[in-house]
Amino acid sequence: QVQLVESGGGLVQDGGSLRLSCAVSGRTVSSLAMGWFRQAPGQEREFVAAISRSSSSVAYKAHAEFVSGRFTISRDNAKNTVFLQANSLKPEDTAVYYCAARDTTSNRDTYYRVYEYPYWGQGTQVTVSS
């Protein structure tokens, strides 16, 4: 059974940065495609970033606010951990951030739909104050 535990959230001021971590157990992270999602109060869970099993492909939310590269997903196979570096944070980034994982035979595919991921962490709260 794959277990995911997020950490690194917290309260940060407008323009600040956070590095979110997702520790994976029960499977080596190199065998999984990974993703980060977020959910603000009263809103649906939305895709933020994804990385393929081999790390050869990454994908980010298709929105103008992400074009500037404020968010970066990466993985450290030696630590069995996936990261989300979030820079230049804005109040509208306030949400619970979730890590997700799925088995895949593809080294290149990334996944951005909630239903494509069977494994989820409990989430970590990110609050950006103005």
Residues 18-74: tens digit of each pLDDT: 999 999 999 999 999 999 999 999 999 999 999 999 999 998 887 645 545 789 999
> What does the block give as tokens for 113?
């739909």
User: What contacts 6, CB < 8 A, 6 or more positions away?
Assistant: 20, 21, 22, 97, 98, 99, 121, 122, 123, 124
Do 5 and 98 meet the contact criterion of CB atoms below 8 Å apart? no
The mean pLDDT value of the chain amounts to: 93
DSSP annotation of 85 reads E
C-alpha pair distances (Å), 78 with each of 6, 10, 93: 17, 26, 30
Model pLDDT for residues 73-90, shown as the tens digit of each residue: 999 999 999 999 999 999
Q: What is the pLDDT of residue 67?
A: 45
Q: What is the pLDDT of residue 62?
A: 76
